[in-house]
Amino acid sequence: MGNIFRFFLCAQAVFVLYSCDVLKGKINCEDILEKTYSNSSLNNFEKNKFKDLLDERYPQFDEMFEEASIETNIEKNLLAAISFQESQWDPKAKSNMGVRGMMMVTLETAALVGVEKRLNPEQNIKGGAKYFAMLQEKNKIGPTDPDKLSITLASYNLGPTNIFNIANSIDKEIENVSWVEISEQLKTIKGSELNLTDKDNYTRGQQAIDYVERVKNYYQLLSAHSCIAPRDQLIFF
């Protein structure tokens, strides 16, 4: 009888410890989420819209992002963050510049990565992921991994040739050029200098800076919703 009683007490103790661990994990996840939203530079309207679309649109594409992540070795939450910034996860998104779909792929890029139907969300996500992976692999600019990540994102937005030319104008040894240095240059660059179009007084250079910042914010929110602690997330700059 004593052995059975001791076994029962031990079992209870294990259950209590397990329950505490689960509860602790839940509290930590909620804490990560709360702090991430609080620290985000996005405004309240942007945060609320993101949360709404995360519930309403994202689930149907989650598996596609997962498959693209596996194929390219690019973190799923990063791909989803790029896609949200590009199209707000709208597979029919398009711009007057001729880009289309979830990752806003151009005709030229589509041909390069083998996308036949840009409005097909699976093809578009995988094509955009493949293109980003290509940019990341070819990028030689930046002294650190965070620099390289931010610079690759800027290349996805502004074009790799434009980013290379900016880096080269700063230092011929482009591997020494940081994202901070490139972003300082971008602040002074107008669309006409890159054969691109500014939006009113919102210069194309500043748009690229904001693009990187916003992808970073969306990535951190997605990671928080996945209960990934900040120490385990990608570092941008």
Kindly list the catalytic residues: 86
Question: In angstroms, what CA-CA distances link 219 with 83, 132, 203, 212?
Answer: 10, 15, 24, 10
The answer to whether the CB of 163 falls within 8 A of the CB of 130 is no
Question: In angstroms, what CA-CA distances link 164 with 9, 70, 134, 186?
Answer: 67, 28, 15, 12
Task: Indicate if the alpha-carbon torsion angle 97, 103, 108, 109 is positive or negative.
Answer: positive
* Residue 220 main-chain phi, psi, to 5 deg: -65, -35
Q: How far apart are the C-alpha atoms of 58 and 61, rounded to whole Å?
A: 5
